[in-house]
Amino acid sequence: MMIVLPFHRGRDLAAVVPRVKRCLAEAGVVLVPTETFYGLAGDPCSEEAVCRILDLKDRPRDMPLPVLAADWTQVDRLTDVPEAWRRHLESVWPGPITAVLPVRQALPVSTVGTVAIRIPGHAMLRRLLGETGPLTGTSANHHGDRPSVDVPDALRSLAGDPDLVLDGGTTPGGQPSTLVDLTGVGVRILRQGAEVWGQPDGAGTAKKR
């Protein structure tokens, strides 16, 4: 049975954290607010959780899922950040820019040796991630639908119910996070979104795809 918990204020975390940890330990899926839209959070190291999220979105199994991290300690634990890009990422995170980076070890969220990751600009969510570790952060909508800005919208769009809902009210919406690939010589802008990727000095040439 789906459980809904408020997620508005710092004091909500005391009730939320143990519930989320229990849900994740059972390969569950949590609906969470971000600084743009609602997302589906699960353990990125759990193949069962990843498959459940893909099923909820009716998303092809070969499509990787992005990951949300609380801080740089978590980012560095999962990825090998090229030094040419580290300073620039430090200047844009927390915020709605997702970077494709080499992974340190294989993850169920991606089978291609890379992972799309960001530190979100939602303070409550970062505090939660600090307690749980990194979580998936794909948008909470049926594959091909527009992203969801509130819980009812997300539940209408998905192919089923998540196990746990953190209701933070209506999110700002707008555009999704900007997606950039930092695994090559230059940066590739895969999706222009909420933030413009500024070009750091000496870091190569930006290319759009």
What is the CATH number for 139?
3.90.870.10
Contact 32, 193 (CB under 8 A): no
For the beta carbon of residue 131, count every other beta carbon within 10 angstroms.
13
- Band (pLDDT 50/70/90 cuts) for residue 100 is very high
Beta bridge partners, 135, equal 68
Condensed to tens digits (0 to 9), the pLDDT of residues 35-91 reads 999 999 999 999 999 999 999 999 998 889 999 999 999 999 999 999 999 999 999
Band of pLDDT at residue 199, cut at 50, 70 and 90 = low
Given a cut of 70, whether residue 169 has pLDDT beyond it is yes
Containing structural domain, residue 155 = 3-208
> What tokens appear for 113 in the block?
């040796």
- CB neighbour burial string for 86-109, b if at least 16 within 10 angstroms, e if fewer: eebbeebbbbbbbbbbebeeebbb
Quick one: average pLDDT of 180-201?
85
Helix axes 123-132, 13-25, angle to 10 degrees: 50
> Would you say 27 and 48 are in contact if contact means Cβ atoms under 8 Å apart?
yes
**Which pLDDT value is given to residue 149?**
97
Q: Which residues of 169-195 are buried (b: 16+ CB within 10 A; e: fewer)?
A: eebebeebbbbbbbbeeebbbbeebbb
For residue 208, pLDDT over 50 is answered with: no
SS3 state at 160: coil
In the block, tokens 């090559």 appear at: 184
Banded pLDDT at 17 (limits 50, 70, 90): very high
Q: Is residue 191 very low, low, confident or very high in pLDDT (cuts 50, 70, 90)?
A: very high
Average pLDDT, the chain: 93
The span from the CA of 23 to the CA of 197, in Å, is 35
**Strand 178-181 relative to strand 188-191: parallel, antiparallel, unpaired?**
antiparallel
Tokens of 98: 């997702």
How many domains is the chain partitioned into structurally? 1
Question: Is 60 exceeded by the pLDDT of residue 119?
Answer: yes
Q: Indicate the pLDDT class of residue 195, thresholds 50, 70 and 90.
A: confident
Q: Which secondary-structure segment (H or E) carries 130? A: helix 123-132
| pLDDT tens-digit readout, 121-157 | 999 999 999 999 999 999 999 999 999 999 999 999 9
